[in-house]
Structure 1
């Protein structure tokens, strides 16, 4: 069996090298996805492990590395990973959502192969099938600058630490899924965990991180949670923000940082305080009863416990909005810059299309659903990407059910929600403006796969064209997630220059599962390998295309 497994891996690697740019290193991983019993919040429960670990292994690479991950699904259900923030240039085949891929069957394996092309920064991966994200199965991705590219830091960090913060439920992912399938909400999370552990701040936990006095360290924070924004801070220390989701930023100092669902940032922290223990603190934001977790940072040769007095989190979303306005792209930093490479002067590019997206909630047949512009997405049994490639779209879904402009019913009128695959055709290489308008009382967070976009504005109220006067058209941060505050709007701009099928989704697990997502179909008119790769030879097939003859592949 082991010889067969090794042979399969070797064959996949040989096939994959045809897409590898000469001279770019290949990093190879083999992951076994299993269930295990651990107690993140002190209650034994079933958790998804990767190579017997939760969180899973960190993918630690360098810009332009080729990443090969052979995933063995040893769960009792189909399974997929997505690589949150990795742009997958010309390669939405590796995106790992139910719109792009058939899931890996139980007892089977699939090898992901992608390149972190022209990217640096902090990202993470997680499961996209069923409600597996509520059981863990996530881990960090660090992409460093190549050796010849200077990083814009005053000092090279002595070490770096990946910190995955997450709200957490003690109920199993199967229980939570039953709630949603029956029309109920998941309810509030039961606590917060930091790297899979829920520290109490009583000084009895084992240290999670260690710092040597006088040295500077890089902390990469990601909010891998399911429902809540989280504020992070380090007792007695300030944090110098240096990077956000693949972009070097202007290096301001912060006592604490709000990190919304799906977002990642990295900071520099200098060990310049009395040598003892200090607490890293994470707490939920915008909730009536905040949850808090801590982990211990120990100075080497430290001589005392951490103070029991925790630094307080900020109050209200206006503080968070003002913090967002302080974030600026570092225009003097060297490459790698996020794609699209030609859009440094994005403020001078003509907008070809404006799409306004309104997130709403309602009921269909008495069951809770979430929607975007009145359409609540349903995954077809044949993935949308495969249907397009095989030319059977008309049998699986309809394009453009959703309108670019949408206004939900006023007052208490019931919104009419359409249950269907939500697929929007967009023109390849067009420069578009996307408006997120949030009429609800809670903070929302959205992620766009396949692209980086410029976060040009967030403001209270409703959007109209006059609001463009307030856009930051010079140094808005290029990233892949955006938060939208209650009764507010957010505006982003991007060039749709990455051919393929790309998911725009709510980062809330509950909202995403119940339909608050869509797919942008950016098909290249030429249909050639210069714009998009062919379907991988090892792709899992399902639905109506499973036994169909393979279409004619793209060529140069």
Structure 2
């Protein structure tokens, strides 16, 4: 009898294990209504894009490997798309939400995004990628928490706060779009917002966050703006950096942080000062004009207003460059993260291709345009990914219209075309961003994290590789390039799909400073890329065409 009981117990354990293995990861469901609404963050009533009547939009709180399903209803008067800044969409560029991969959601209809935050942790945000909708809102925080079984390299904080900072314009998004379409530049913003508000700094502001004395809090700070890098600091408090763009970092402490466009930083802040109010400050960097905003943090036992003496931002970009050099990947921290080609040891992988990206500005038809290597991107009526998938890509674009290593970019000689690079699946590549202008630039690559191995003044050459950090550069999805400087990143192209590489300055992005990287799996296998979803919106020339044979295992 004991043997039978033992065998039954063994069978039960095996069945339980099989069920656990086959069980799907948890699902999170959301229904979002995208509408217009009136807000006055800078004291001027203006039309904004709201999600579920919120500005900024709802915060997504997820955990590694969660499946996220978001049914988006577009109640605007024009097509709309959302993109997910920093979410890698493994094998699934169908959910990227960019005009090169998705048909925009027509006015009065809906579309359901379905993606998995596979092997990721960290701080991200979502935003509208169509027209100049980002100038009107429609953005919000997206966090991916570590699973309970995965140790995190710091104690659980008392609470977890999302801080969305960004420059802001009081013009409507339609007026800004019309301004850019007419050939005029975007111009200076009207202010800076923190979580959709601009503090008056007069002691009467409602606190954005509260802290208990002696407790430690996590602040996730993301720059969701259009044009400016911002410096962020908290009056009287140090910030202990623990994560950026989805990677745990060496936990250095900072008085302030330069947060560049599209980037996110997580810091720990301990309420160890005198019990009263304190200001958090976000202010513009690397510009002749100075714009700033404040937000109040209140101690629960606070006994007085914040001091009117605000901490100053640093001056110059050399300080910012040195701060970049202080960032290091935490090599001892456990985390959910892909490891293509053993890329934790990325310094030992041979580079198979170098792609040099040079930003430039010029004109086409007498109107302002921005470009990469002399090519200014324009979106065709059929998204590039759909055209490629249905075998009609040659009707809309040519691969590799730009050179990997442009020797000379002629001023004002721009080629306005759909800009697509064909890249080899699983190649280990080096991308060089060379900024020959006097303003700071910021770049982002969808679908990937990369190793930000160097930023230096001057022009890049192969000899500069001796200065790369080949041990513990932070794996991230965005990088800044200072004036007349260059930056280098390394990555394995293991995520098949069509992915957007873009300037994070949104006027530059809108006027052509972007391209798409096409990475096709030779095997055409589901192991490498998902099939187009059955419910996927089709538009342009492929609408009504029969779908190609599906990929198989």
Alignment of 1:163-178 (within 5 A): 163-178=163-178
Distance 2:379 2:203 in 1: 47
Matched, 1:501 2:498: yes
| Map of 1:252 onto structure 2 | 252
Once residues 441 and 158 of structure 2 are traced to their aligned partners in structure 1, the CA distance between those partners, rounded to angstroms, is 36
Give the SS at the match of 2:319.
helix
Q: Return the offset for 1:342.
A: 2.7
Distance 1:119 1:53 in 2: 27
Deviations along 1:420-461, one digit per CA (max 9) or x if unpaired, are: 000000000000000000000000000000110000000000
- Aligned residue for 2:424, secondary structure, equals coil
If the length of structure 1 is used for normalisation, what is the TM-score? 0.95
What displacement does 1:287 show?
1.1
Counterparts of 1:387 and 1:21 in 2: how far apart (Å)? 35
Q: CA–CA distance in 1 between the matches of 2:419 and 2:83?
A: 19
Q: Helix, strand or coil for the counterpart of 1:294?
A: strand
Q: Which residue of 2 aligns with 1:470?
A: 467
Q: 2:180 touches 2:186 (CA, 8 Å); kept in 1?
A: yes
Shift of 1:516: 0.2
CA apart distance, 1:341 = 7.2
| 3-state SS of paired residue (1:322) | helix
Give the match for residue 277 of structure 2.
277
Paired residues of 2:361 and 2:411 also in contact (CA < 8 A): no
Aligned to 1:64: 65
What residue ranges of structure 2 are gaps of 5+ in the alignment?
1-20
Given that 1:118 and 1:339 are in contact with CA atoms closer than 8 Å, whether structure 2 keeps it comes out as no
SS where residue 345 of structure 1 aligns? Answer: helix
Task: Report the equivalent of 1:530.
Answer: 527
How much has 1:21 moved relative to structure 2?
7.3
Structure 1 segment 316-465 matched on structure 2, within 5 A:
316-337=316-337, 340=340, 342-409=342-409, 414-465=411-462
2:232 touches 2:257 (CA, 8 Å); kept in 1? yes
Q: Do the aligned partners of 1:339 and 1:451 also contact (CA within 8 Å) in 2?
A: no
How far did residue 288 of structure 1 move?
1.0
Residue 135 of structure 1 corresponds to: 136
Q: Distance in 1 between matches of 2:299 and 2:346?
A: 44
Aligned to 1:189: 189
Structure 1 position 22, deviation (Å): 2.9
For 1:399-418, what per-residue CA distance to the aligned partner results, in whole angstroms no more than 9, with x for missing partners?
A: 11010011344xxx634210
Q: Which residue of 1 aligns with 2:262?
A: 262
1:162, distance to aligned residue in structure 2 (A)? 0.1
Q: 1:337 to 1:419 in 2, by over 3 A?
A: same
Quick check: 1:167–1:193 contact (8 Å CA) kept in 2?
yes
8 A Cα contact 2:364 2:412, kept in partner: no
In structure 1, C-alpha distance between the alignment counterparts of 2:541 and 2:360, rounded to whole Å: 32
Is 2:550 aligned against 1:553? yes
Q: TM-score, normalised by structure 2?
A: 0.95
- The answer as to whether partners of 1:452 and 1:478 remain within 8 angstroms in 2 is yes
Q: Which residue of the partner structure matches residue 162 of structure 1?
A: 162
- What is the count of residue pairs matched by the alignment? 533
Q: Is the 8 A contact 1:63 1:118 kept in 2?
A: yes
Deviation at 1:173, TM superposition (A): 0.5
Structure 1 residues 443 and 378: alpha-carbon distance in aligned structure 2, compared to 1, 3 A threshold: same
Q: Which of 474, 483, 486 in structure 2 is aligned with 1:486?
A: 483
Q: CA deviation at 1:23?
A: 3.2
Counterparts of 1:178 and 1:280 in 2: how far apart (Å)?
35
Following superposition, the deviation at residue 337 of structure 1 comes to 2.7
1:205 aligns with 2:192: no
1:368 Cα shift? 0.3
Equivalent residues of 1:428, 1:523 under 8 A apart? yes
Structural mapping, 1:138-157, within 5 Å: 138-153=139-154, 155-157=155-157
Q: Give the Cα separation in 1 of the matches to 2:228 and 2:340.
A: 30
Separation (CA, whole Å) in 2 of partners of 1:544 and 1:273? 62
**Is this contact kept in 1: 2:441–2:482, CA < 8 A?**
yes
For the 8 Å contact 1:340–1:452, the answer to whether it is kept is no
Secondary structure of 2:454's match? strand
Partner of 1:110: 111
Q: SS of 1:93's equivalent?
A: helix
Matches of residues 510-521 of structure 1 in structure 2 within 5 Å?
A: 510-521=507-518
How far apart, in 2, do the equivalents of 1:248 and 1:257 lie?
16
CA separation in 2, counterparts of 1:21 and 1:336? 19
CA RMSD of aligned residues (A): 1.0
Other-structure match for 2:5 = none
Cα distance change, pair 340–76 in 1 and its aligned pair in 2 (3 A): farther
Residues 222-233 of structure 1 mapped to structure 2, 5 A cutoff:
222-233=222-233
Corresponding residue number in structure 1 for 2:216: 216
**Superposed CA offset, 1:262-288 (max 9, x none):** 000000000000110000100010111
Matched-pair contact (CA < 8 Å) for 1:457–1:470: yes
Distance in 2 between the 1:208 and 1:358 partners? 40
Separation in structure 2 between the aligned mates of residue 362 and residue 535 of structure 1, nearest angstrom:
37
C-alpha separation in 1, matches of 2:107 and 2:166? 27
Deviation, structure 1 residue 164: 0.2
Matches of 1:324 and 1:224 in 2, distance apart?
19
- Does 111-120 or 546-555 show the bigger shift? 546-555
Q: Is the Cα contact below 8 Å between 1:338 and 1:452 reproduced in 2? A: no
Find the counterpart in structure 2 of residue 43 from structure 1. Answer: 44
Q: CA deviation at 1:471?
A: 0.2
The secondary structure found in structure 2 opposite 1:426 is strand
| 1:86 and 1:116 in contact (8 A); partners too | yes
Residue 8 of structure 1: aligned partner: none
CA contact (8 A) 2:41 2:197 kept: yes
